[in-house]
Structure 1
Amino acid sequence: MSSEAPAPTDPAAPPPRASSEVATDADLAELDRLAASYRTLTEQVGRVIVGQSEAVEQVCVALLAGGHALLVGVPGLAKTLLVRTLAEALDLDFNRVQFTPDLMPADVSGGEVPASAGADGPAFRFEPGPIFTNVLLADEINRTPPKTQAALLEAMQERQVTAAGRRHPLPDPFFVLATQNPIESEGTYPLPEAQLDRFLLQIAIDYPTEEDEVEVVRRTTSGPPSPLEPVIGRDQLLAARAAVRKIAVGEQTLRYATRLARASRPGADVSGVNPGALEFVSEYVRWGAGPRAAQALILCAKARAALRGEVHAGGDDVAAVAPAALRHRILPNFHADAAGLTADDLVAKLIAAVPRQPDAGPRWLREILP
């Protein structure tokens, strides 16, 4: 995040206006309930997962925003365990698919299988695959060929599976939480940009601190952890997801998110951004973020605000979720590779280059609730 002070408000600019409002007292109460449940959820998850608080928050942000997440980290950092633990604490149906080179599309989505023959000849019925669940763990998604990876595209975007010309809706809610190992290339199939863009967030899982690693060793070499207690069920999650959409976002914050996405595109004319600050984009970026990026920034900013008990999302929320929302949507070129610059480095430069207005509006539920 940039250390620069937010740009002063332009007196000639139109007054900020909210993009959405919390419509009813029930929505406010639901957001208050969500903030309390999230605190309990992190306590439950912390009984199994040591540290990784930022990753836990970002996965919850993706779930509240109704999107999918890609968890990237080296082996042994509890990516799979984190997803399984969250699904258990959320009291949702959970399936895991281990992606391998011989996995076929029907192994994921399901397909038509023979049924009992009738008077008109052989009959077929649709046999649902493991994708028909609330939380699907796509483990090591880059180890399966593109034809199987593509089986997820329709499900992730349309929340349905088409087989033999018939559409089969997926359960609601439906989330894909995929994992990927960034250090191996042999026997892997990198996800194409079009499929990466379907993931709302790409969450980086880093090594734990020394104290956390000591605690991991202590826990995993003693007795098994006690069972988790479900915290948030399906109905509450759906209600919270609807309430998150009504969190207020000012016009300046909407423009800030849009300008962040536009500023990532080489040669783009970005209104309100110093053209000199975009030279690094033209030099180091092969392909920038599309319109889905700005949508992801706003939705995730709302979800992040909701987890903190706030009813107004501002530029600070957008900047906080920007690395996870943009790192997989910005493609560095060979000049960036030669200079040792990663997508995360370029996102940090964007946040520093694009000015944002001070946040305005009520932020905490206690300022509104009686």
Structure 2
Amino acid sequence: MITDTVAEEALDKLSETRNRLLAEIRKAVVGQDEVIEELLISLLARGHCLLTGIPGLGKTLLVKTVANCLSLGFKRIQFTPDLMPADVLGSEVVDEDPGHGKLSFRFVPGPIFSQVVLADEINRTPPKTQAALLEAMEERQVTVAGETRPLDCPFFVLATQNPIELEGTYPLPEAQLDRFLLNPVIKYLPEVDEVRMVGDTTGEDRPSPQPVLSGPEIEILQSLTRQVPASESVVSYAVRLVSASRPGTSGCDPWIAERIKWGAGSRGSQALVLAAKARALLDGRPNASREDIRAMAKSALRHRIVPSFLAES
């Protein structure tokens, strides 16, 4: 638990840092404040994000800008139907010593070996490659040719997916969706923001965002997130909220039960409380509240709830 002295100093510094960070991100990204906040919350909670939205809304720019402002290495993987697991994780190649002609194996790391990885259009690639990425996310290490290699710290994956109605997609199985802490939805910009964005991006001079935090500083903040108190009543509120999504339980309304095939599991409750803690810390508050739970509920649960045929029809 955060002590009073540590809390006061850390929260004061974080409040100032948060304002500086948002100011730098907004130099390159117009609007999408809610999505930006959810990305930062997921990072503080040591989670990963699944960002849903149609192409052309600036997802790559957003993630790259956040990585630059946090002084983190950035790699982008464009998922396609022919992408193989080795293209993501890396592989061993054979080297020949020019002098002696001896052969040896050398590991060539894949793009997963970066601190921020944008897995673009993850539902465009077959399940085998999806599973390779998601296993690396869960274990924070990869195993190639029998050797296990740890991934960089901090490690943050932001996967994007197109709406499943679009052609050529491979929907992620529910068990794999559950590994993402949050599922922000990126929407069209309001007209006033789009006018500003178009003006900024079609001009000659564009401001360059500057780094605000370093990797070690982010790891400290990630540790602090776990120390943010959440009272028993707040945790109980989160569990009741998640239970209300489960057909067959006493807390699930019959109208909802008809429209949900199955609800969020216990990992959803964990994600909701952890995201609430990170939101409180990001806002400079010493403990998580019910308001934090309510604010994070949609992003933490929407990908964990499977609608019924009635709801989809």
**RMSD over aligned Cα, in angstroms?**
1.8
Which residue number corresponds to residue 291 of structure 1? 266
Q: Tell whether 2:276 aligns with 1:301.
A: yes
Select 2:141's aligned residue among 156, 160, 163: 160
What is the alpha-carbon distance in structure 2 between the residues aligned to residue 78 and residue 47 of structure 1? 14
Task: Tell me which amino acid in the other structure corresponds to 1:324.
Answer: S
Q: Is the 8 A contact 1:244 1:303 kept in 2?
A: yes
Q: Does 1:247 align with 2:247?
A: no
Q: After TM superposition, give the deviation of residue 216 of structure 1 in Å.
A: 1.2
Q: 1:224-243 to 2 correspondence within 5 Å?
A: 224-243=205-224
Q: How does 1:19-168 map to 2 (within 5 A)?
A: 21-23=1-3, 25-116=5-96, 122-168=103-149
Q: 1:122: how far off?
A: 4.6
Give, in whole Å, the separation in 2 of the partners of 1:158 and 1:35: 32
Structure 2 unaligned blocks of 5 or more: none
* Alpha-carbon displacement from aligned partner over 1:71-96 (angstroms, at most 9, x marks no partner): 11122211111111101111101101
Any conservation in 2 of the 1:110–1:126 contact (CA below 8 Å)? yes
Deviation at 1:124, TM superposition (A): 2.1
Counting only pairs closer than 5 Å after superposition, residues 168-247 of structure 1 correspond to structure 2 as: 168-182=149-163, 184-247=165-228
The answer as to whether partners of 1:284 and 1:336 remain within 8 angstroms in 2 is: yes
- Of 286, 291, 307, which residue of structure 2 is paired with 1:332? 307
Deviation at 1:24?
Answer: 6.4
Percent of aligned pairs sharing the same letter: 53
Work out whether residues 164 and 171 of structure 2, in 8 Å CA contact, stay in contact via their aligned partners in 1. no
Q: Distance in 1 between matches of 2:82 and 2:35?
A: 30
CA distance 1:183–1:150, change in 2 (3 Å)? closer
In the aligned structure 2, how far is the partner of 1:244 from the partner of 1:323?
A: 20
Q: Deviations over 1:290-326 (max 9, x none)?
A: 1110111111001111111101101110010000000
Letter in structure 2 aligned against 1:300: A
Structure 2 distance, partners of 1:297, 1:60, is: 15
User: 2:182 aligns to what SS in structure 1?
Assistant: strand
Q: Deviations over 1:147-205 (max 9, x none)?
A: 11111122111100011222110011101001112165321111111111111000011
Change in 2 beyond 3 A, CA 1:23/1:114: farther
Contact 1:110 1:130 in 2 (8 A): yes
CA distances 1:127-159 after superposition (whole Å, capped 9, x unpaired): 211100100000111111111111112211110
Q: Equivalent of 1:280, from 247, 250, 255?
A: 255
Return the letter of the residue paired with 1:286: K
* 2:234 matches 1:259: no
Gaps of 5+ in 1: 1-20, 339-370
Figure out how many residues of one structure are paired with residues of the other and give that number: 311
Residues 164, 312 of structure 1: alpha-carbon distance in 2 compared, 3 angstrom cutoff: same
- Matched position secondary structure for 1:249: coil
| CA shift for structure 1 position 97 | 0.6
**CA separation of 1:61 and 1:86: change in aligned 2, threshold 3 A:** same
**Deviation string for 1:246-280 (max 9, x for gaps)?**
111110111111122222111024xxx4xxx5212
TM-score by length of 1: 0.80
- One-letter code aligned to 1:191: L
Aligned-partner residue type, residue 74 of structure 1:
I
Separation in 1, partners of 2:148, 2:255? 45
